[in-house]
Structure 1
Amino acid sequence: MLEKEIERVLVEQVKRLGGRAYKWVSPGNDGVPDRIVILPGERPCFVELKTETGKLSRLQELQIGRLRKLGQDVRVLHGIQEVDAFLEECERKMGYGI
Structure 2
Amino acid sequence: MKESQIESYLREKIKAIGGIAYKFVSPGNSGVPDRLVLLPEGRSVFVELKAPGKKPTKLQLMQHKRMQALGHEVRVIDSREQVDIWLREL
- Tell me the SS of whatever aligns to 1:61: helix
What is aligned with 2:3?
3
Aligned pairs for 1:1-98 within 5 A: 1-90=1-90
Structure 1 residue runs without a partner (length 5+): 91-98
**CA contact 2:46–2:73 (8 Å) conserved in 1:** yes
**Deviation of the 1:42 alpha carbon:** 3.4
1:19 alignment partner AA: G
| Dislocated runs of 4+, deviation >4 Å | none
TM-score of the two chains, using structure 2 as the length reference: 0.95
**CA contact 2:6–2:79 (8 Å) conserved in 1:** yes
Of all paired residues, the percent bearing the same amino acid is: 50
Structure 2 residue runs without a partner (length 5+): none
TM-score of the two chains, using structure 1 as the length reference: 0.87
- Tell me the SS of whatever aligns to 1:52: coil
**Larger Rg, first or second structure (1 or 2):** 1
Pairs aligned (count): 90
